[in-house]
Structure 1
Amino acid sequence: MEWKGRRESDNVEDREDEPDQGVPDDGGGMPGYDGGMPGDEGPPGGFRGMPGFPGMPGMPGRPIFIGGGLGTLILIVAFMFLAGNQFGFVQPPANQPGPMPGPQAPHREGPHRPAPQPPLPGAQAERNDPERHNPAHEELKHFVRVVLADTEDVWDQAFREMGKTYRKPKLVLYAKHTRAGCGFADAASGPFYCPADETIYLDLEFFAELKNRFHAPGEFAQAYVIAHEVGHHVQKLLGTMGKVDAKKARLNEAQANRLSVKLELQADFLAGVWANRADKMKHLIEAGDVEAAISAANAIGDDTLQKQSQGYAVPDSFTHGTSSQRIHWFRRGLQTGDIKQGNTFGAGDL
């Protein structure tokens, strides 16, 4: 992936060497835009635009995140698998969908903030890990700043096309634990976006896990993690998150899960839109970016992961959709780059 020599964002805060600071007094929320994607009629109930991901269980401020480890890896690999189709690098086997993430914890928004928590034992020692203080790790921080700047350029243009102003998110680099506007943040949850403070939280050790444990190396995979979380910020700015939460509050669990699938599929579409526009603007995707991750690709969706873990699938419990559904919406975003084409709520068959 070509990235060196480009602008670095000023909106990255490095907390890797800081001790835990305690829970903030307030969520620091900011009002979002009313409405959603232009041209989206949405399903009954007036849903339009881009709602968000499930998030951290039990945390107020509507935390949203990609779960840690395998779920995020599969999402990234599927994205790169589809990027190969879009940019002519790698074609998938016939009739074989790409891999997608498995079930994740649902997001919840509570009326009260969690009680302050003391720093976890060993937290400062974890922050002083020498592995985090070497030239390669420092270069990774520069990479993160460049990628965030790229997302700023892409979404600033897209919002101007919609007659809106893009409000840039912040990105916090942390080690193991930190405090967020949504509550306590732990690296085990994976990279996540907190709408309460409009900030992305990322422990860079997650990228090492992608490479060493799941054999999905490559800067493009890392860039996608960041761009996907920025996509959640876009969803928040478009004002749809509250509408979706209100709708889910009136549904039973199975119905809420089906709505979550639609949310996830629309987020997949948004990731495809980012890839389309970023490559046109920056020419950042190379053949090797895709090929490096194909070796780790498996056809995994909610259905497949459930069968692997318990021997059978329960469709009513799906929260992310099947592999084929996710591939469809990724491809749609990748091919069109058009934010108006991602109305999963109005789609009959996903």
Structure 2
Amino acid sequence: MKWEGKRRSSNVEDRRGHGAGMRGGGGFNPLLIGPLIKILFSKTGLIIIGLVIAFSVVTGTNPLNFLGGFLGGGGQSFTTETNYPPSAEEDRLAAFSETILADTEDVWNKLLENYREPTLVLFSGQVSSACGSASSATGPFYCPGDEKLYIDLGFFEDMELKLNAPGDFAQAYVIAHEVGHHIQKIMGITAKLDKLRGQVSEKEYNQYSVRLELQADFLAGVWAHHSQKSLGWMEKGDLEEALNAANAIGDDRLQKQATGRVTPDSFTHGTSAQRMRWFKKGFDTGDLAQGDTFNAVNL
């Protein structure tokens, strides 16, 4: 895949080397600036600051952490791993991911009038999102609550070594699939499915989940169709890489590898054959109207 030198998206948060810590509270309220200044520079405020600094000296903690809490700070916080130097390969993967995201922006802005560009969050180890905390073991995911895609770049190595799904276009498929979930959020499909949770049986809800995932695969294929049409950056074997990745993460294959047996009622993403079929359909047609997996008789 000839991606070097192409535009890279600016909708990226690089949280590599940061832990996922959460603090209670809703953040600093600017309306409190005036009253707080009066308090801090009063006799009582100076005593408080003096005690905080003294305590910090004894404990070796940062006094700004205490003062931040006193000033109403809160929300999400991150602890930095000072000894986290990203490797050259990891930085290359970051640049690649930003390039793929940029092209999804170009494609979907043309295809959808109301498209909102999502944010890609690069993390290592653990991360916090509007959907809760997650670890690298979760794999790439999209959170509709904050409209962000989350990925630990180490997953790409896992694809190659653990899933036998190497290749840059396989990696592009993963990113495009998560962007597909963002499109479903924009279209209101995600909200409709969420309303069904608890109203139908687990078996029936799993079937809806499969259709949601297969549609995201289809949308990834639609992106690939239009991307190739405009850029021509796919090389020989790239399509096969994406199809191999779709095959590698089918529910039936993953269950077979993990437990030695397959339980169709527990499928949530679709079989290998289904995932390959819907991605290929999106790639072949490039037509959004062909991707109604929820009313499809044969998946």
- TM-score w.r.t. the length of structure 2 is 0.74
Instruction: Give the number of equivalent residue pairs.
Output: 251
Task: Determine what percentage of the aligned residue pairs are the same residue.
Answer: 51
Note the alpha carbon deviations across 1:203-230, whole angstroms, 9 max, x for none. 1111122233444332212222211111
Q: Going by fraction, where is helix more abundant, 1 or 2?
A: 2
Does residue 337 (structure 1) correspond to residue 283 (structure 2)? The answer is: no
Per-residue deviation, 1:272: 1.3
Change (3 A) 1:339 1:24: farther
Q: Report if the CA contact (8 A) 2:11-2:118 is conserved.
A: yes
Rounded Cα–Cα distance in structure 2 between residues aligned with 1:217 and 1:273: 21
**1:143 match:** 96
Q: Residue 114 of structure 2: which of 146, 160, 165 is its match?
A: 165
| Farther-moved stretch of structure 1 (195-204 vs 316-325) | 316-325
* Relative contact order higher in (CA < 8 Å, ≥ 6 apart): 1
Rounded Cα–Cα distance in structure 1 between residues aligned with 2:209 and 2:241: 31
Rounded Cα–Cα distance in structure 2 between residues aligned with 1:339 and 1:23: 42
Does residue 319 (structure 1) correspond to residue 263 (structure 2)? The answer is: no
Q: Report if the CA contact (8 A) 2:247-2:275 is conserved.
A: no
Q: Residue 156 of structure 1: which of 101, 109, 115 is its match?
A: 109
Root mean square deviation, CA, Å: 2.9
Does residue 221 (structure 1) correspond to residue 170 (structure 2)? The answer is: yes
Rounded Cα–Cα distance in structure 2 between residues aligned with 1:194 and 1:248: 17
Per-residue deviation, 1:243: 0.9
Q: How does 1:1-16 map to 2 (within 5 A)?
A: 1-16=1-16
Per-residue deviation, 1:195: 0.8
Unpaired runs of 5+ residues, structure 2, are 27-74
Rounded Cα–Cα distance in structure 2 between residues aligned with 1:308 and 1:217: 18
Q: How does 1:1-350 map to 2 (within 5 A)?
A: 1-22=1-22, 124-125=80-81, 128-130=83-85, 132=86, 134-159=87-112, 164-290=113-239, 301-350=250-299
Change (3 A) 1:180 1:309: closer
Per-residue deviation, 1:335: 1.1
Unpaired runs of 5+ residues, structure 1, are 27-115
Note the alpha carbon deviations across 1:27-71, whole angstroms, 9 max, x for none. xxxxxxxxxxxxxxxxxxxxxxxxxxxxxxxxxxxxxxxxxxxxx
Q: Report if the CA contact (8 A) 1:210-1:217 is conserved.
A: yes
Change (3 A) 1:297 1:148: closer
Note the alpha carbon deviations across 1:65-100, whole angstroms, 9 max, x for none. xxxxxxxxxxxxxxxxxxxxxxxxxxxxxxxxxxxx
Change (3 A) 1:4 1:248: same
- TM-score w.r.t. the length of structure 1 is 0.64
Q: Report if the CA contact (8 A) 1:177-1:187 is conserved.
A: yes
Q: SS of the counterpart of 2:150? A: strand
Rounded Cα–Cα distance in structure 1 between residues aligned with 2:24 and 2:284: 42
Change (3 A) 1:302 1:277: same
Larger Rg belongs to: 2
Q: Report if the CA contact (8 A) 1:8-1:148 is conserved.
A: yes
Q: Report if the CA contact (8 A) 1:266-1:344 is conserved.
A: yes
Q: SS of the counterpart of 1:217? A: coil
